[in-house]
Amino acid sequence: MTGLADWKIVLIDDEEDIRDVLTMALEDAGYEVHSAPDGQTGIRLCQTLSPQIVITDIRMPGIDGLQVLETLKQTDSDVEVIVVTAFGEMNLAIRALQLDASDFITKPISDEALHLALQRARQRYTSKKQLKDYTDLLEKEKAATSQQLLKSIGFQRNLIENSMDGILGCAEGDAVVIYNHSMEQLVGYSKAEVIHRMTLEQFIAPDEAARLKEALVSDRYGGKNRLFLFETYLQDKSGRKVPVQVSAAVLFANGQPSGRVCFFRDLREIRKLEREVADQARILHQDKMMSLGRLAASVVHEINNPLSGILNYLRLMIRIVNRGPLGEKHRAKFKKYLELVENETHRCSRIISSLLTFSRMSPPEFGPVQINELIDRCIILSRHKLELSSIELVTFIETDLPTVMGDFNQLQQCVINLIFNAVDAMPDGGTLTIDSHYHPDTKKVSIAVKDSGLGIAPDDLAHVFEPFFTTKKEGFGVGLGLPTVYGIVEHHNGVVDVSSRQGEGTVFTIQLPVTNVC
C-alpha cells in the first residue's frame, strides 16, 4: 500500500462544518474520504466500505465516539480509529486508548496534528497487517510441519504396529512404552495391561531372565549392549513358555542408557515343524525295525540251508583226510567239496551283508545307486520268504541302467516293503514280478513290484499311503510300510504309483530321476 488513494477513511462527526473542513483537507492530501453525521450511520458505512482508518468525534448525540470505537473493534480489530476530543477531556481520550484507539486529536484540529495522527495510524495499520501476514504464514508453515511430523510419526507407528516381529520398547527403569500387535499375540497381554504398567523382566521366563541380561551386556551375541538372534523363552499371560529368538539393543541419550528395545521372533511354528521332522524320522526307523524283525526270521532259514551244506561237505572232507594221504581220485572230490563250501559260504556272507546294510542305522547318505544291485540285494533277503509262501519270482531286469543318486539303504527299505506287501497279498502263492527300466523320454528309472494277489478295494486305494492305514489283522500290519515308501521316494524327487484290480493283483511302481547321475 503506497499511494494515499488506497487509504479509505470514514469520518464521523455531528458538526457539518467540521466534516466539510476535514473532508476537504483529507481529500487534498490524497485520501479517499467518506463521512457520516452520527455514530449509527458511521458504523453502517464502515460495515459496507471496510475503511482502514476511522476518525470519530467522541461527543455525539446518540451513539457516541467511544461506542463507535468499541463496535468497530469488535467486528474488525485491525481498523485504526482516531478519536477527536475536546480540549480538557483527557479522561475520555485515555478511555479511548484503552479501547484500542490508535490515537486522539483535540479540537480545534490542527492540520499538523491530524496528519501526524494519520501517519501513525497508517504505520500501525501497515505493521499490524505485516505482522498478521507473517503470523498467517508461520501458522500455515507450522500446520504443514506438524502435519508432516504427524504423518511421519503415524508412519513409524504403523511400521512398529504391523511388524511381524514382536517389538517391545522400555524407557529408563524398564517400564514398557512400546508394545505392538505381534507382542500381544506372542504373550497374550493387551496394550492397556502392559504400557507403563509392566517391565521387560515380567515377560521373560523366570529361569531365562538372568541368562538374557548377561547376554545383553556381554559382547558374545552381537556386541556389547546389543543382542543378535539370541534364543530364549518368553512367558505368556497364562504362564506358558513361548520359544523366541530375540534381538535387542540398549538405547542411549546423551551418552547415558535411556531404555531398551527388543525384537522377538516367534519360534513356535519352527519348533512344531522340527518336532514333525523328528517324528517322521522316528516313524521311518520304526518301520525299518519291523521289517528287520520279519526279515531276520526268514534270513535265519536262508542261512541255515547253506550252513548245513557246508557242515556236510566239511564232514566228508574230514573223513577223506582221515583215510590217509589223498590219492588222485580223492583230490578231485576234495576240490569239488571245497568249491561247494566256498560257494555256500559266499552265499551266507552275501545274505548277512545285505541284512547288515539294511539294518544299519545311518543318517541318509546320497550316492550313486545301481538299481539292479539294489533289486538283487532285496531278492537275496526275501527269497526264502517267497519260497515259503510258494511264490514264484520273475524278474525283468534291464541291463546297463543308468545310476541314480540316492540313499541305497533307504531305497532298499522301499523295495523290501513293496515285496512284503506283495507276499501278504498272495496267501495262497502266486507270482511276484520285479522289473526295472530306463525311460529315456522322462529320464527316469522305474522299479515295478507286481503281484498276482488279492488286489486293493477301490475305496481303499486312495488311502494306502496314509500312515497307519492297514487292512491287516492286528499284529500283522501297522500301516507304516507304504507311507515310508512314499516319504523316501519323495525325498529322492521321485514318484510312487499304484494300480490294482481286485482279484487280479497289484503293481507298485517307483520312478526315480536320473538327471543328477554322477
* Residues at the contact surface with ligand ATP, assessed by CB under 6 A: 290, 417, 421-422, 425, 451, 453-456, 460, 464, 469-472, 477-483, 506
Of 225 and 471, which has the nearer Cβ to ligand ATP?
471
Q: Answer with the entry of ligand ATP, Mg ion, none that 280 interacts with (C-beta below 5 to 8 A by kind).
A: none
Shortest distance (Å) from residue 381 CB to Mg ion: 15
Side chain identity at residue 4, one-letter code: L
For position 484 contacting Mg ion by CB under 5 A, the verdict is: no
Write out the three cell numbers for 381.
533277503
Give the DSSP H/E element, type plus range, for residue 212. Answer: helix 209-217
Enumerate residues 6+ apart whose C-beta is below 8 A from 501: 455
Shortest distance (Å) from residue 486 CB to ligand ATP: 9
Enumerate residues 6+ apart whose C-beta is below 8 A from 265: 164, 165, 166, 244, 245, 246
Cell 500312515 found at: 467
- Longest Cα–Cα distance of the chain, Å, equals 176
Of 52 and 452, which has the nearer Cβ to ligand ATP?
452
Shortest distance (Å) from residue 481 CB to Mg ion: 3
Query: Could you tell me which stretch among 81-89, 158-166, 207-215, 478-486 binds Mg ion (CB under 5 A)?
Result: 478-486
Q: Answer with the entry of Mg ion, ligand ATP, none that 96 interacts with (C-beta below 5 to 8 A by kind).
A: none
Side chain identity at residue 174, one-letter code: D
Which among 4, 20, 14, 9 is positioned nearest to 46, based on CA atoms? 9
Shortest distance (Å) from residue 302 CB to ligand ATP: 20
3-state secondary structure 382-418: HHHHHHHCCEEEEEEECCCCCCEEECHHHHHHHHHHH
Q: Answer with the entry of ligand ATP, Mg ion, none that 334 interacts with (C-beta below 5 to 8 A by kind).
A: none
Give the DSSP H/E element, type plus range, for residue 196. Answer: none
Q: Answer with the entry of ligand ATP, Mg ion, none that 205 interacts with (C-beta below 5 to 8 A by kind).
A: none
Q: Answer with the entry of Mg ion, ligand ATP, none that 453 interacts with (C-beta below 5 to 8 A by kind).
A: ligand ATP
Shortest distance (Å) from residue 283 CB to ligand ATP: 10
Q: How far is CA 260 from the centre of its chain?
A: 23
Of 381 and 464, which has the nearer Cβ to ligand ATP?
464
Of 334 and 469, which has the nearer Cβ to ligand ATP?
469
Of 180 and 421, which has the nearer Cβ to Mg ion?
421
Of 44 and 472, which has the nearer Cβ to ligand ATP?
472
For position 481 contacting Mg ion by CB under 5 A, the verdict is: yes
Q: Are 243 and 231 a contacting pair, CB within 8 Å? A: yes
Which among 107, 85, 108 is positioned nearest to 96, based on CA atoms? 85
- Interface of this chain with Mg ion, residues 404 to 423, rule: CB under 5 A: 421
Of 134 and 468, which has the nearer Cβ to ligand ATP?
468
Q: Are 249 and 227 a contacting pair, CB within 8 Å? A: yes
Shortest distance (Å) from residue 383 CB to ligand ATP: 18
Which among 308, 336, 290, 304 is positioned nearest to 475, based on CA atoms? 290
Shortest distance (Å) from residue 511 CB to Mg ion: 20
Q: Answer with the entry of Mg ion, ligand ATP, none that 472 interacts with (C-beta below 5 to 8 A by kind).
A: ligand ATP
Of 272 and 285, which has the nearer Cβ to Mg ion?
285
For position 505 contacting Mg ion by CB under 5 A, the verdict is: no
Q: Are 510 and 490 a contacting pair, CB within 8 Å? A: no
Q: Answer with the entry of ligand ATP, Mg ion, none that 479 interacts with (C-beta below 5 to 8 A by kind).
A: ligand ATP
How many residues of this chain bind Mg ion (CB under 5 A)?
A: 2
Residue at shortest CB range from ligand ATP = 481
Enumerate residues 6+ apart whose C-beta is below 8 A from 147: none
**Phi, psi (5° rounding) for residue 336?**
-60, -45
Of 499 and 516, which has the nearer Cβ to ligand ATP?
499
Shortest distance (Å) from residue 446 CB to ligand ATP: 17
| Cα 352 to Cα 212, 349, 360, 384, distances in angstroms | 54, 5, 12, 14
Q: Rule CB under 5 A: which residues touch Mg ion?
A: 421, 481
